[in-house]
Structure 1
Amino acid sequence: MNAYAFAYVIPGFLLILLGGINGPFHSALVSVLAKRDKSESAPIVETITTLVSAILLAVTVFLIVFANIFIDVLAPGLDAATRSMAIQQLQIMAPMAVLAGLIGIGFGTLNAADQYWLPSLSPLFSSVAVIIGVGLLAWLLGDRIDNPQYIQLGGFVLAGGTLVGALWQWLAQVGAQVKAGLGKLTFRWDWRIPGVSEVLRVMIPATLSSGMLHINVYTDLFFASFIENAAASMRYASFIVLTPLGIMSNMILVPFMPIFSRLTEPENWGELKQRIRQGLLLTALTMLPFTAIFIALAFPVVRVIYQRGAFNLAASEQVVPVLMAYGFGMFFYLGRDVLVRVFYALGDGDTPFKVSMVNIFLNGVLDFLLYKPFGTPGIVLATVGVNIISMGIFTVILNRRLGGLPLGEWGLSLLGLTVITMLSGVASWGASWGWEKVFGAGNIFLQLLQLGFASTVAVGLFLLGAMLLKLPELDLLISRVRQKFLKKS
């Protein structure tokens, strides 16, 4: 798993950077296609797809040929066997570079046509493919799966499953895209179409800005290579955190992007400020309960999800503090993204790019200062620190640009939610401790009940406290949840 953590860095970086919802490709296409008819959209999509595919195909070849150099730069501290495995896994996953671009184009195209369910669901295909691959291997090998002679085979299955998952994700999107008349699988080099230049004007600076943010991952893994099992611990913990982050990102950022864009004229700045507040408060209302759970119940969470087979108590103890650090930073991660989208709506891609450039240096300094005294959690906390500083910078700039923001009012609301989060975390920890004392946690059934009970205490107390604050954003959040639930019913 440690080799895979390093091998996945570049393919995963490209998949998140280019292929993610709210990524630069998604943002660029939504901003342009949402203003046009479907008949105008197809040629734009086909031309952009052709250009992106050509560029990323060259990137794929480059990754395959120079995989050894990339692994050595990312992880100079790896032993020979882990290094060899990481190189081979990177070569297997290299075609994800092309797929990442195509997935990002598909996200933006479908969202511009008001199709949200498939883009939201399709990332699951990647996880399902990996689970199927690893599950089949475990079924075929049984207890022998941990034998040294099968380590290489397991690495190939893990990398191959990741590649197949990305391919599956793209194929699911392209079918819906063709059916909706939003472009076919065809080569088109018609650069004279006005919409193409508009997409590129947004896509290029947005890609550079997003890329600078994700380059911090390289810095983190450079320092992680000097700590035993640090990369694997970060990978396991991030898997847990990314699920709620991804879901809430879709719920908050996707609807707010077009709203911010329609409110950029000075006469609409009053409503724009209100919408920024909504974005930040909704982020806090959705992320802070997870912060309480992941900090207070980190060990029960890791134990239920991972602790079986080769993943023993010692492995759990390595992942737990890393999960706590990730949990602490969830609000700042998503809150920064909300503010970045405001700058994009204002037509300013330069400010996020400049801040991202500074963040690369800042992240390296914080990693260097924190990785020795705090170990793996220190590397995660360095990234959290960068996000906190970025939020502060963006807030100060927006405060000046928009003629003042009601920062005192916003700050009091966020402070109240922070206090509620702390109380909820303490209460849920006490509930978990009490459950284990009374009922024990000797099997997975009791562990699930313990985690469910303590999590319910955390969420329940948080909601109760938030109600006492009488935040209008809480009513908005409850309304959205009810609408989704009633639609499914």
Structure 2
Amino acid sequence: MSLAGKFATVGGATLFSRIFGFGREMMMASALGIGPVADAFNLAFRFPNLFRRLFAEGAFNSAFIPLFARALEEDGEAAARDFATEIFSTLFVVLGTLTVLAMIFMPVLVETIIAPGLSTCIDDPAVPLQQTLSCEARYAITIAYSRIMFPYLACMSMLAMVSGILNAFRRFFAAAVAPSILNFVLIGVLAWGWYGGATQRELGFLMSWGVLVAGIGQLLMVTVAMRIAGFGVSLRRPRWTKGLRRLLVLAGPAALIGGITQINLFVGQAIASYKPGAVSILQYADRPYQLPLGMVGVAIGVVLLPELARSLKAGRLEEAQHTQNRSLEFALFLTVPAAVALFVIPDPIIRLIYERGRFDASTTHAVAAVLGLYALGLPAFVLIKVFSPGYFAREDTKTPMMVTGASALANIGLSLALFFVLAEQGIALATTLAGWLNAALLFAGLHKKGLWEIDRALVKRAGLVVLSSLLMGGVLVFLQRELAGWTGPGSTVPHQILAILALVATAMAVYFALCFATGAVDRTMVLRLAKAKRGRRAA
């Protein structure tokens, strides 16, 4: 399978999951709005979800895969199985201990890390979002939800390891589609809660248990896929080995680097806990933003690292350079127009997705403003996924760790400074600026060390992609004004759907036509793929 084909496999599976994620968020927004229960659930879920992203898209895809691939290539499958068993046994013991301690000391975690704003909250009846639940009640349900969902962290960390094994064997689909289970379970829970007339607090508890059940289901799914692939691991007494030591040296920095997006979002939500409703506004804006980020960023992060690692281990340096440049080209081709579109038309998108039930027009505008600022950072966070494997495949974690640390500190400083001026919009802007700083420093490090040589085709196509995207954005601005009656407040859902479809279809047609006409996309490759597709149909 070609590199583009592998990107499409993972991206398609991720798209499938994110679409149902939209359905989940739509139902949750209608049921809970941006009230205290929604804030409590989002705060409680963000902590284990942070570690899921750190492990699944950071540490294990960045540290485990090169070591496992080396054992597989150099020493055979038996040695690779022994190495995987060492890691699995250690993970099992460490995560079990961590889960027990976290559940005991959850009030301390909530007060100091997850939601420090709740511990300083003062009841004020004049604040609408504090009329339904007191500060003490918000604090209590955040602790309760966090305790229920925390074991999800252990499930996702072990899932990440099994997914790493599947990816090393170039079996990407099962791990990419597994997150869909979470969306299916939560959609079912919300539907059952509505049907049974559950209160908001009861819905919060049901959804928390649903997260835990989904975590177990996801782990079972990838474990079965690993067994089908003919590979398995066992549980034995953990031992301090050379392989484990090397993994820890690589995994700590890799987790920090690979999960910078989630770290920034987690920091933002912790600061946002000082303002009622701000946490939920950030969460709802994050969902549309995560769709293109997941499709492209996750696909590139999952596929590029094993491909790059294998090329470097085999000494095929020219192939490695080509892989890096084409991956960057692919990332820009898809993310720049997505960023422009989300920045230009966030209000109609948010209105169509969320505005119903407890989610009103004023909330739509607040969420859309945050989405527009997040969109400006979309290409940066995908570029981080492109640049990071250049370090990880060479087992260099020191440089990107320093870069990511600088970016995280910048994000914290900017979030604190801007939150008290621009509220949740300040946090979104800080996240975007920190993302671009991270991407720029990562690329500068690779280029300075001679690990990335940009070819002429990349420079030409990148410039044309930006130009085509800006022209497409101009068309969207014009069309949005023409369709204002169908997309504005008070418009019906059928009209909104038709208007969004018209906007998206026109934008895609304009963008792809411009790219094909100007050469922003490789015309030869497109024509070759089209001929191959016609040939398969004819056969």
Q: TM (normalized to structure 2)?
A: 0.81
Among all aligned residue pairs of Structure 1 and Structure 2, give the percentage whose two residues are the same amino acid: 21
Deviations 1:216-272, CA, capped at 9 Å, x for gaps: 334312321233311101111112221222122243233321332245489855544
Q: Which moved more, 1:37-46 or 1:277-286?
A: 37-46
- Cα distance change, pair 28–45 in 1 and its aligned pair in 2 (3 A): same
Match of 1:77 in 2: 117
- Cα distance change, pair 474–129 in 1 and its aligned pair in 2 (3 A): farther
- Cα distance change, pair 247–483 in 1 and its aligned pair in 2 (3 A): farther
The one-letter code sitting in structure 2 at the alignment partner of 1:77 is G
Match of 1:9 in 2: 46
Deviations 1:309-330, CA, capped at 9 Å, x for gaps: 1112122112111111122211
Q: Which moved more, 1:46-55 or 1:463-472?
A: 463-472
The one-letter code sitting in structure 2 at the alignment partner of 1:31 is P
Q: Distance in 2 between matches of 1:126 and 1:482?
A: 39
Question: Post-superposition shift, 1:408?
Answer: 8.3
Q: Distance in 2 between matches of 1:486 and 1:428?
A: 36
Question: Post-superposition shift, 1:465?
Answer: 2.0
Is contact 2:182–2:211 with CA below 8 Å preserved after alignment? yes
Is contact 2:381–2:435 with CA below 8 Å preserved after alignment? yes
Is 1:33–2:68 an aligned residue pair? yes
Q: CA RMSD in A?
A: 3.1
Q: Which has the higher contact order (CA 8 A, sep 6+)?
A: 2
The one-letter code sitting in structure 2 at the alignment partner of 1:462 is Y
- Cα distance change, pair 309–397 in 1 and its aligned pair in 2 (3 A): same
Q: TM (normalized to structure 1)?
A: 0.88
The one-letter code sitting in structure 2 at the alignment partner of 1:65 is I
1:226 to 268, 274, 279: 274
Match of 1:382 in 2: 430
- Cα distance change, pair 271–175 in 1 and its aligned pair in 2 (3 A): closer
- Cα distance change, pair 480–288 in 1 and its aligned pair in 2 (3 A): farther
Is contact 2:269–2:282 with CA below 8 Å preserved after alignment? no
- Cα distance change, pair 486–349 in 1 and its aligned pair in 2 (3 A): farther
SS of residue in 1 equivalent to 2:322: helix
Match of 1:128 in 2: 184
- Residue pairs, 1:236-275, within 5 angstroms: 236-264=284-312, 269-275=317-323
Q: Distance in 2 between matches of 1:9 and 1:129?
A: 17
1:180 to 219, 224, 229: 229
Deviations 1:141-172, CA, capped at 9 Å, x for gaps: 1xxx5xxxx23211101211112111111111
Match of 2:369 in 1: 321
- Cα distance change, pair 16–478 in 1 and its aligned pair in 2 (3 A): farther
Is 1:52–2:91 an aligned residue pair? yes
- Residue pairs, 1:82-481, within 5 angstroms: 82-141=138-197, 145=198, 150-184=199-233, 186-187=235-236, 189=238, 196=244, 199-210=247-258, 214-264=262-312, 269-402=317-450, 405-406=453-454, 410=458, 413-437=461-485, 442-472=491-521
Alignment length, in residue pairs?
479
Q: Distance in 2 between matches of 1:224 and 1:439?
A: 29
Question: Post-superposition shift, 1:31?
Answer: 1.7
- Cα distance change, pair 413–369 in 1 and its aligned pair in 2 (3 A): farther
The one-letter code sitting in structure 2 at the alignment partner of 1:153 is E
Question: Post-superposition shift, 1:297?
Answer: 2.1
Deviations 1:374-431, CA, capped at 9 Å, x for gaps: 3212211111111111222122221221177348875554343223222212312332
Q: Which moved more, 1:217-226 or 1:466-475?
A: 466-475
Q: Distance in 1 between matches of 2:345 and 2:95?
A: 42
The one-letter code sitting in structure 2 at the alignment partner of 1:401 is K
Q: Which runs of 5+ in 2 are unaligned?
A: 1-37, 119-134
Q: Which moved more, 1:419-428 or 1:256-265?
A: 256-265
Question: Post-superposition shift, 1:97?
Answer: 2.0
Q: Distance in 2 between matches of 1:307 and 1:358?
A: 38
Q: Distance in 2 between matches of 1:336 and 1:119?
A: 21
Question: Post-superposition shift, 1:51?
Answer: 0.4
Q: Distance in 2 between matches of 1:133 and 1:348?
A: 44
Deviations 1:181-218, CA, capped at 9 Å, x for gaps: 322453354666x7555544533442354466644334
The one-letter code sitting in structure 2 at the alignment partner of 1:64 is M
SS of residue in 2 equivalent to 1:5: helix
